Amino acid sequence: MTIVSRREPHGGDNHEVHGLGDGSQAIAAEDTVLDLSHPPSTYFESQAGIQEWVGVLTVQEARMQKNEKEEKKKQTAIKKVTKDIKVAINKAKAALNWHGIDAWKAEKECKKQVKIIQSQGQTIPADLLIPILDPEKNPTPDDLESLLPPPDLLQLLDSANRILELEHEMRQPGSGIGNIPSQDIENYGMDEDLGYESDSDLSCNLYL
């Protein structure tokens, strides 16, 4: 049996290792001592780097999710405003259509009365000779104004679209700016159901 003694200077200290056998066990023991006395500094640095990188990703993902949520709320509000504008215009068109039907019926009745009076050889009243115009075919300035989008909703829609365009520009690489808060736009119609209309129904084609 061989006794091996090995002395190596390291860091100003002498480490003496004794082993039994042919010397391989002693060398292995010495390597273990060296490994324990010199833990790789890059290990801790790499762990810190990984944690830092994961933290950055988490913040970026959270910011991205927040931006997506805010943009979705704005898009929903824009759809709601667009729908309300369309509904308002359709109601005005329906009302004008009914007025046209009433005018057509009244004009038809006047003509009937005129024929009866003429057949009797009597004088036709002047009011029966005044034509009753169909507001759909001959709209007045008030009728035309009623078909326009409500100014308040139109302004809200324009503001919402401008905000989204500005946010899109600011989110370009290097801008460093996120979403623009808009309380009125984001909260508009959030408690109401948008129904099952398709995107084509919610377009900005307002049948003007």
pLDDT at 94: 92
DSSP H/E element including 6: strand 3-10
d(CA 194, CA 189): 9
The Cα 35–Cα 37 span in angstroms is: 6
Which pLDDT tens digit goes with each residue over 165-182? 776 676 665 555 455 555
The predicted model scores a pTM of 0.47
Q: How far apart are CA 86 and CA 108, in angstroms?
A: 33
In tens, the pLDDT along 13-62 reads 444 444 444 555 554 555 544 444 445 455 555 555 555 555 556 887 88
Residues 160/70, Cβ–Cβ less than 8 Å: no
Structure tokens at 177: 């700016």
Q: Give DSSP secondary structure letters for 115-129.
A: HHHHHTTPPPPGGGG
Residue type, 76: T
89, 206 contact by CB (below 8 A):
yes
Is residue 47 a contact partner of residue 53, using CB atoms and an 8 Å limit? no
d(CA 111, CA 93): 27
How far does Cα 197 stand from its chain's mean position? Answer: 17
d(CA 181, CA 170): 13
Beta bridge partners of 18: 5
Helix (H, G, I), strand (E, B) or coil at 32: helix
Give tens-digit pLDDT for 98-127. Answer: 999 999 999 999 999 999 998 998 888 888
